[in-house]
Chains A and B, each alone.
Chain A
Amino acid sequence: GQQVMQIPQYQHVQEGEDFTTYCNSSTTLSNIQWYKQRPGGHPVFLIQLVKSGEVKKQKRLTFQFGEAKKNSSLHITATQTTDVGTYFCAGPPDRLFGNEKLTFGTGTRLTIIP
């Protein structure tokens, strides 16, 4: 079945440093979604990418969808303490049937050293 892996599993950075998490799917995705989960909270939607090679920005966050639609990345510039949390990618498979199955990646937990 479809597997979605993320690396790294954990990342500790000094406040102000940059952070990147990578998402890799075993199958082609119809779209990629990114979520953030604060400690003790529930996942909250950040963004969705649909097109091959698409790049979107939200302030200090840059999201990219791979050309083959099997990988994606999230880059945060100049991290702040408010960025703490676990970042998940998610995506349904790109196929005619069963493309509602929203599979999540393993997540990257970001901690910030003040």
Chain B
Amino acid sequence: NAGVTQTPKFRVLKTGQSMTLLCAQDMNHEYMYWYRQDPGMGLRLIHYSVGEGTTAKGEVPDGYNVSRLKKQNFLLGLESAAPSQTSVYFCASSSRDRGFVAEAFFGQGTRLTVV
């Protein structure tokens, strides 16, 4: 099994450009998450999804949009990139086990630089 796959792994954008990060999981998980990681800030939740066709805001949703048209895919979009969005982005997926959110599996991350 591939687990959670993120594409691309690296990207450099100019301010104002747009892009989409793709996350794909092959574990049939209901829940999917997008986090950004900045030095000293831990992992901050951007958006998440509890199932196909549903999305919800996390802690830092401004400047990002998401879509979950298929259960296995979770897309993160930046409509107009800003230098403050320079970060490492992680996607994760999880299932529900005995009424609780179970172990989250992470992708390898996408290192995004906005110049």
Q: Interface on A for B, CB 8 Å cutoff?
A: 1, 6, 9, 30-31, 33, 35, 42-45, 48, 50, 88, 90, 92, 98-107
Contacts and interface: CB of A to CB of B under 8 A. Distances in A.
A100 B29 CA distance: 12
Given A45-B105, A92-B101, 6 more contacts: A48-B103, A50-B98, A101-B48, A102-B104, A103-B59, A106-B41
Given A45-B103, A90-B104, A106 B50 contact: no
A33 B43 contact: no
9 contacts: A9-B40, A42-B109, A43-B106, A50-B100, A92-B100, A100-B96, A102-B104, A105-B42, A106-B41
Given A42-B90, A102-B33, A103-B45, A48 B100 contact: yes
Interface of B: 31, 33, 35, 40-45, 48, 50, 56, 58-59, 90, 92, 94, 96, 98, 100-109
A107 B40 CA distance: 8
Nearest to A101: B48
Across the A-B interface, the 9 shortest Cβ-Cβ residue pairs: A104-B43, A106-B42, A42-B106, A45-B103, A107-B42, A31-B100, A92-B101, A100-B50, A43-B106
Contact of B106 (A30, A44, A99, A101): A44
Nearest to A104: B43
Contacts of B35: 104
B104 A88 contact: no
B45 A102 contact: yes
Contacts of B92: 43, 102
Nearest to A30: B100
Nearest to B91: A42
B45 to A, nearest CB: 6
B42 A88 contact: yes
B101 A104 contact: no
Contact of B103 (A33, A42, A99): A33
Nearest to A90: B104
Nearest to B101: A92
